[in-house]
Amino acid sequence: MDLAMEEAIAAAARDEVPVGAVVSRGSTVIAQAGNRTRELNDPTAHAEMLAIRQACRRLGTERLTGCDLTVTLEPCPMCAGAISFARIGRLYFATDDPKGGAVENGVRYFSSPTCHHAPEIYSGIQQSRSTALLQGFFAAKR
């Protein structure tokens, strides 16, 4: 989660919503990314999506079986879909997102009968740190 937080802090420095994500297998980091939707003009360029795509490129596969994803914010439906399709084993996230999340909030995709692979879910890790980062970012915007 420390590495995901570093990616989130780097995203904020680029004036992007501060979210960071890491794909790992055991103790090996396979990919890491921060949110780049503005920089890339790409609404799909959430940290999780970039990290999953990077990991798939590196491993030469579209299935990240045995890999875990660590992210500083509860994934949205788009990212939850990608996590499922990529067969991520464990999902670790920091802050929950009542407005846009799709794991413990919103559509709770991983509990839906149309979700065909759900990761194990661990939430609340370094929650206050991620929340402070997000709140600080949005407060500075106002």
Catalytic residue list: 48
Question: Where in 85-114 is the site for its own copies (CB under 8 A)?
Answer: 85-86, 98-102, 105-109, 112-114
Binds its own copies by CB under 8 A, chosen from 38, 104, 127, 129: 38
Round to whole Å and give the CA distance between 47 and 21: 5
Q: How far apart are CA 39 and CA 53, in angstroms?
A: 17
Could you tell me if 94 and 121 are in contact, meaning their C-beta atoms sit under 8 angstroms apart? no
Q: Is 11 in the site for its own copies (CB under 8 A)?
A: no
Q: Considering the complex, what minimum distance in angstroms separates the CB of residue 127 from its own copies?
A: 19
- Number of residues assigned to the chain: 142
Contact call for residue 78 and its own copies (CB under 8 A): yes
Which span sits near its own copies by CB under 8 A: 6-14, 23-31, 50-58, 121-129? 50-58
Spatial distance between the Cα atoms of 127 and 9, rounded to a whole number of angstroms: 14
Distance of alpha carbon 81 from alpha carbon 9, whole angstroms: 25
5 or 68: whose CB is closer to its own copies?
A: 68
Phi, psi of 28 (to 5 degrees): -95, 125
- Interacting residue ranges for its own copies, rule: CB under 8 A: 37-38, 40-44, 49, 52-53, 56-57, 60-63, 76-82, 85-86, 98-102, 105-109, 112-114, 116
